[in-house]
Amino acid sequence: MSTALLLIIYFCFIGLGIPDSLFGAAWPAIYTELDLPISYASIVSFLVSVGTVSASFLSGYLIRALGTRRITWISTAMTAAALLGFSFSHSMLWFCLLAVPLGLGAGAIDTALNNYVALHYNAMQMSFLHCFYGIGVSVSPYLLSFFLSGENADWRSGYRTMSAIQIAIAILALLSAPLWKVHESPSVKEDSSGADASASSGEENAPVISPLKLLMMPKVRAVCLVFFGSCAVEHIAGVWGATYLVNSRGLGADMAARVVTLYYAGIALGRLLSGLLSNRLTAWQVIIYGECLTAGAIALLLVRLVLPLPVLCDGIALLLIGIGNGAFFPNMIHLTPDTFGRELSQSVIGTQMGSAYLGIMTMPPLFGVLAQTVSTELFAPMLAVMFCVMVLATRRVLALNQKHG
């Protein structure tokens, strides 16, 4: 039963990933059709992130009130409705209004399921969980590229297709109630999936500590900065990768969407490899190796600014950023219960997720302003700055871990 529940959670993470890559890939077609300034993507991304940050910081209270199971299907249904609404939008106002429930749904389910898997499953399952997120973010721009390749660049049908997939996942989550009840039964013991089923639903009864109180702890501040930098890199690449390829490299919108699919495929591959290597490498080793790979990929994009390398190099760089940075998130989340204790993990993960979404909320919009006022050529330098923030904060966390044993 624990294995069956884990599969349901995996499918829900596919649904979580679908909206994250869809808007960035569709934006070149959207702003062209509606005659909007290129920087308006930042407004929508900002509002999505406002909803996500709010849900993440309040996740402890939401889980306590509704439980992980209800949050899962309600959040997936909210994102499905928002995507369907996007497909019928003909003005910037509707994009902005629908961005908020899209963000609220993503933030609630992301935090709830991350904490649930961190408490009940092992490092391999956590990496595979985020690998399925990578499948979601890879599939949506790839499918969208087929809708964009037609004469009319029909991004609306692409959004409706993604909404239908989300609706199916929401129904699956709703019908999975018996699995959650069995899994949460104290009489159920650990099974071959690595699940600690006897842990019951303790995450729903854990003490809720405010983010402000947690941020008084130096290690919490440092780890939150790591999440801020890593997610800034992830979403600048995801939201603006297609626009960068269209404006700075001269690709068509359909081809740019397909190249960006390499980036999201890299995220899925990085998390798959992380899970497969979890029995040979520690989580910290995977994180450090991933940072080295990401550093090389960003360096390739920077070299691309001064040398006339083929567009293939941009695709390779984005793929490698996806692999390297993609392995970071599940491993850092999995370390949380060990680093801060199981009782604090729910509140700490909520604060970490909130910090991650602050990076998503602020940095891609900032790049949008820079792209509008200066040039999309700042794509690689912006990634480099955020990567440096992530690396320096990682070293701070490691130093604090060594200091406190």
Convert the pLDDT of each residue in 129-151 to its tens digit: 877 877 887 788 888 888 887 66
CA distance 47 to 110: 17
Give the pLDDT of residue 201.
46
- State the alpha helices, DSSP H only, in 35-58: 40-57
In the three-class reduction of DSSP (H, G, I as helix; E, B as strand; rest coil), residue 207 is classed as coil
Check if the beta carbon of residue 119 is closer than 8 Å to that of residue 342: yes
pLDDT at position 195 over 50: no
Assigned token pair, 75: 């959040």
Of residues 12 and 21, which shows the higher confidence score?
12
How many CB atoms within 10 Å of residue 303?
Answer: 13
CA 405 and chain centroid, separation: 31
Element (DSSP H or E) covering residue 102: helix 92-120
CATH code of the domain covering residue 209: 1.20.1250.20
Q: Residue 37 has what DSSP assignment?
A: -
Assigned token pair, 201: 């639903």
Q: Give the up-direction half-sphere exposure of residue 393: CA atoms within 13 A in the CB hemisphere.
A: 21
Give the pLDDT of residue 168.
93
Give the pLDDT of residue 199.
42
Check if the beta carbon of residue 182 is closer than 8 Å to that of residue 188: yes
Q: How many domains are contained in the chain? A: 1
Mutual angle of helices 155-174 and 59-87, in 10-degree steps: 140
Give the pLDDT of residue 51.
86
Give the pLDDT of residue 340.
79
Which residues constitute the domain of residue 321?
2-185+193-403
pLDDT at position 81 over 50: yes
pTM: 0.72
Q: Give the up-direction half-sphere exposure of residue 210: CA atoms within 13 A in the CB hemisphere.
A: 3
Nearest in space to 332 (alpha carbons), one of 203, 206, 222 = 222
pLDDT at position 278 over 90: no
Q: Give the up-direction half-sphere exposure of residue 108: CA atoms within 13 A in the CB hemisphere.
A: 26
The values of phi and psi at residue 374, to 5°, are -115, -80
What is the rounded average pLDDT of the residues 308-312?
84
CA distance 353 to 328: 13
Q: Which of 139-153, 234-248, 363-377, 384-398 holds the top average pLDDT?
A: 384-398
Residues, the chain: 405
Residues 150, 155, 159: CA angle, nearest 5 degrees: 135
The model's pLDDT over 172-187, given as tens digits with 9 standing for 90+, comes to 988 887 777 655 544 3
What is the rounded average pLDDT of the residues 265-273?
86
Give the pLDDT of residue 191.
43
Q: What is the mean pLDDT of the chain?
A: 83
pLDDT band at 197 (very low <50, low <70, confident <90, very high): very low
* Inter-CA distances, 162 with 11, 28, 122, 155, Å: 14, 18, 30, 11
Task: Give CA torsion, residues 340, 389, 56, 46, to 10 deg.
Answer: 180
The values of phi and psi at residue 267, to 5°, are -60, -50
Q: Residue 149 has what DSSP assignment?
A: T
Nearest in space to 79 (alpha carbons), one of 54, 102, 47 = 102
pLDDT band at 188 (very low <50, low <70, confident <90, very high): very low
pLDDT band at 378 (very low <50, low <70, confident <90, very high): very high
